[in-house]
Chain A
Amino acid sequence: MKRYLYFAPAAALLGGVLALPLAIGLARGTGHWGALFRDAALPRIALTTLSFAGASVVLELGLGLAFALLLHRTFRLRGPVRAAALVPWALPTAVMAMSWRWIFNDTYGLANDLAVRLGVLERGIAWLGRPGTAFAAIVVADVWKTTPFVTLLLLAGLQSIPEDLYEALSLDGAGPILRFRMVTLPLLRPALALAVAFRLIQALGAFDLVWVLTGGGPADATRTIALYIYDQQFRYLDSGYAAALTGAFGLATLALAAGVGRWVRGSSAS
């Protein structure tokens, strides 16, 4: 009985600021769920959001795994290097997005300067002024910002793998690739699943990065669902539809993150 009492303040707080508003929101949106299927703009926005989340999460996992493997080895200055690798993640997103906006600027941006100097481009281009490159730009900025987070999770996973498993395999004559496939990858799956779930949830709800970098343009090529919900609520004052969108989006995100996470974790059982 006593432990429930200890739990009560936390439950009241979470209930008051999280569960109750969520329930009110869902209740408010109920009359508007039908509108989701009549909204002609929604499929494209959902696709943009999914592509953004998919591309950035896949890249972050690949890079994060590589960095984690590197940082897992013992080398001089490992401490400072590990700390430095976390810097992008520690920066406020809006500040970081503003810097990327300068980097991708058409006239004095670093991206153009480098590309021209290296001979990749003959003349600078307006990265954020073309639908394709603007989309790539938000992916790049997101990958830069959140790869450290994935690295951190995977590094923790790597460190929980007992060394003697590697030793045993080495004695049996297994090379590094085989050791990676037989030990590292299967035992890293829980950490991978966690990273995928966390990152998917965050990437699907991306707002600040896109808001600052492109504002959803050009030609709506980078408008994600979070920007769309913001417009419904604050600019169109359509709380009902905003609530329905938020509810549907929240449920879809959770389902997707759980499904993908389970898939990553589960295929190790086979």
Chain B
Amino acid sequence: MRRTEDKSLVARRLAAALTLAVGAALAAATAAGGCGKKDARPAVRFLEGPDSGGGWKEILARFKAVHPEIDVELVEGPAATNTREDMYATALLSGDTTYDVVYMDVIWVPKFAAQGWLLPLDERLPPAEREKFLPGDMRGSTWEGRVYRVPMQSDAGMLYYRTDLLAEPPETFDALVESAGRLQQPPGLWGFVFQGRQYEGLVCGFLEILWGHGGDVLDAQGRVVLDSPEGVQALTWMAGLVKRIAPEGVATYQEEEARHVFQEGHAVFMRNWPYAWTLAQAVDSPVRGKVGICPMVHAQGRASAATLGGWGFGIAKKARHPDAAWTFLSFATQPEQMKLLHFKNGAIPARRELFKDPEIVAKSPHYPDLYRVLLAARPRPVHPAYARISDALQVHVSAALVGTETPEAAIRAAAERIREAVGR
């Protein structure tokens, strides 16, 4: 990458030595405590969010029963995914071996792979095995033809609607606006809520609308095609929602704000992730038993699309025991473990067969519908500069929503910034 690497390495070593010296002096002064367990590190360590349901701990216990010789440690990090991304990136960037296994959001894959931080897994995961995972999750695990991630949890955006207010969900953008406009009675009941704050979630929602209009950000050759007539149509439709069928405040909503409005019964439609279904159907939810899900609507003659989320395992290139790491992650991504994580932590399995699993369908009757959504799920633009692409979209889609830019100008400006980002 940069040629200043060697110089900064020396400087970094110097800094480390100095810090060590200071640290040693401090430690000596305080009469050293128990810091002699330097080599008692587990063979495999990875970072995840808080294990809220206890599913991960049980998976680790199961693994220990089968493979007592491999010690696995789960570091429970912060719930905010961007913070965990920073933690992984900092560790991998400095080349240390804090984490052997990388539990990755689908959008990290190209960035981490392009940096050379990950081990390709093609040989370990033969094509016949890949077939068993949801197609979008597998595509999102691949970078420049090589597989870097084994999917564990899937996720995709979709449309929620109130089954007590309409019998059949709409299929097209026009039909959505029509029925939302007909049924709404603002401010008590709005037509449609979604994630409109300037952040990653805004891009996810916009991409579904863009794809549903037949547009895209990059084409198959990686050229920027955002500023097409379809792109302008998509953003024009989205910006037109605000104040007509969506509250003005939608420009400040993230997932939870939208869910609160919908769950309190103040919206007919909502764009959100699958997690909201369980909460909206909870015993104390005012809309319990009145919630339906379907794929996001699409333009006449086009197909629905969902933005793919989801998590999976990669192996760090500098992992000390890559074989042990592989043993662990192939165990963790078996159907039984995915089921466990589903029941304990509410994770959506990434294997196709589990959507027909009688136990899962008995507890989650919406899973066949969810399967339809997940099959239509597409990864966000797969590019190492995705963060820049996302920021360009965030800024200009937000500007169109709040009316400081026309949809045409916003699309043009975003496309220009994305060209700069992919061109460099």
Contacts and interface: CB of A to CB of B under 8 A. Distances in A.
A217 B25 contact: no
Contacts of A239: 93
Interface stretch (B155-163, B245-253, B268-276, B347-355): B245-253
A126 B249 contact: yes
Contacts of B388: 236
A205 interface: no
A212 B290 CA distance: 33
Given A106-B247, A218-B198, A234-B89, A16 B4 contact: no
A119 interface: no
B221 interface: no
A48 to B, nearest CB: 12
B18 A131 contact: no
Interface stretch (B172-180, B375-383, B400-408): B400-408
A229 to B, nearest CB: 13
Interface stretch (A21-29, A186-194, A253-261): A21-29
A79 interface: no
B75 interface: no
Given A217-B198, A234-B86, A131 B22 contact: no
A21 B18 CA distance: 11
A27 B7 contact: yes
B18 A217 contact: no
Interface in A167-225: 214-221
B25 A218 contact: no
B237 interface: no
A181 B327 CA distance: 78
Contact of A217 (B11, B257, B398): B398
Nearest to A130: B402
Nearest to A228: B391
A236 B402 contact: no
A16 B11 contact: no
A177 B151 CA distance: 73
Bin the interface of chain B by size. Answer: 35 or more
Given A130-B402, A219-B399, A107 B89 contact: no
B395 A220 contact: yes
A126 B252 contact: yes
Nearest to B248: A126
B404 A27 contact: no
A126 B405 contact: no
A85 B353 CA distance: 61
Contact of B251 (A21, A107, A218): A218
A129 B86 contact: no
A28 B4 contact: yes
Interface in B198-255: 198-199, 247-252
Contacts of B93: 237, 239
Contacts of B249: 105-107, 126, 129
The 8 closest A-B pairs by CB, nearest first: A217-B198, A106-B249, A129-B251, A219-B399, A126-B249, A235-B387, A126-B248, A16-B18
Interface of A: 9, 12-13, 15-17, 20-21, 24, 27-28, 31, 105-107, 123, 125-126, 128-131, 214-221, 231, 234-237, 239-240
20 contacts: A9-B22, A12-B22, A24-B8, A24-B12, A27-B7, A27-B11, A106-B247, A107-B249, A126-B252, A128-B252, A131-B404, A214-B198, A217-B395, A218-B252, A219-B402, A219-B405, A234-B82, A236-B385, A237-B93, A240-B2
Given A106-B252, A237-B89, 19 more contacts: A20-B11, A20-B18, A24-B12, A107-B266, A125-B248, A126-B250, A129-B196, A130-B248, A130-B402, A217-B395, A218-B198, A218-B398, A219-B395, A219-B402, A220-B395, A234-B89, A236-B387, A237-B93, A237-B115
